[in-house]
Amino acid sequence: MPNALIVDDSKVMRDMIIACLRPLAGLSPTEATSGLDAIEQLSLQRFDLLVLDLNMPDIGGLEVIEFVRAQDKLRELPILVVTTRDDQNSRTRILSAGASQYLTKPFTPAEILSAVQGLLPDGKATG
């Protein structure tokens, strides 16, 4: 069963994302409430997907991505960034930092669902 780490300091946002992903019966979500919390959990446990907010109180999502990509064992981890920033500059920066995909808030449940399905290794989760 694939594990996804959902990182957002907003509880409502995490709840919304998890609700959106519920149709993926095979996916088990874990929550992290800050960038540092996410990095800690990633170091101690295996995840198949990272859903990441950029705007957080301790270290921002971009720093999380940079940190993750510098680790050998996390180099291949799919990262889906969900953000309110939608200018070209941010988009470039997010993708060049190493995010796999990029979703702008507001997104619909169907959008995040198909993004996550596309990022998970084949056959790991079924709708």
Partner 1 sequence: MSTSIDLKEFRGAYLAEVGEHLSLSNAKMLEIEDSLKRGQASFRAIRELFRLLHTIKGLSAMVGVDTIVTLAHRMEAILRRADQRTMELSLDAVEPLFHGLRAIQEVVVALSKGRPIDPPSNVLIARLEAVEAHGKPASESPGGERVLDLEPALDAKLARFEREQLINADREGRRVVRIDFVPSPKKAELGFTINSVRERLGSIAEIVKVVPVAVPATEDAPGGLCFVLMLVTLAEDSELAAAVGGPEVQVRPLVHAPPPPAPDPAFSEIPGGSVDDDDLHARNVLRVDVQRVDEAMERLAALIVSRSRLTRVLDDVAQVDGALGRELKSIVEESGRQLRDLRASILRIRTVRFAEILARLPLVVRGLRRSSGKDVTLATDAGDAELDKSVAERLFPALIHLVRNAIDHGIELPDERERSGKPRQGTLTVSATVLANREISVQVSDDGAGVDREAVARQLGGVVPEADDGLLNALCRAGLSTRRVATTGSGRGMGMDIVKKIVVDQLGGTLSLANHPGKGAIFTLRVPLTVAIVDAFVVRLKEDKFVVPVVSVEDIVEVIPGAAVRGATPYGLVALMAWRGTSVPLVELATLFGMTPVADSTAVRHGVIVRRGSERVGFVLDRVLSQQEAVIRPLVDPLVQVPGISGSTDLGDGKSTLVLDLSALAHALLTHGRYGEPN
Residues making contact with partner 1 (CB under 8 A): 9-13, 15-16, 19-20, 22-23, 33-34, 36-37, 39-40, 43-44, 53, 55-60, 62-63, 67, 70-71, 73, 83-84, 105-107, 109-110, 113, 127
**CA nearest neighbour of 98 among 67, 60, 69, 70:** 69
Q: How far is the CB of 126 from partner 1 (least distance, A)?
A: 9
What is 42-89 written as a DSSP string?
HHHS--SEEEEES--SSS-HHHHHHHHHTSGGGTT--EEEEES--SHH
Q: How far is the CB of 46 from partner 1 (least distance, A)?
A: 11
Q: How far is the CB of 62 from partner 1 (least distance, A)?
A: 5
One-letter amino acid for residue 80 of the chain: L
Q: Which is nearer to partner 1, 59 or 95 (CB)?
A: 59
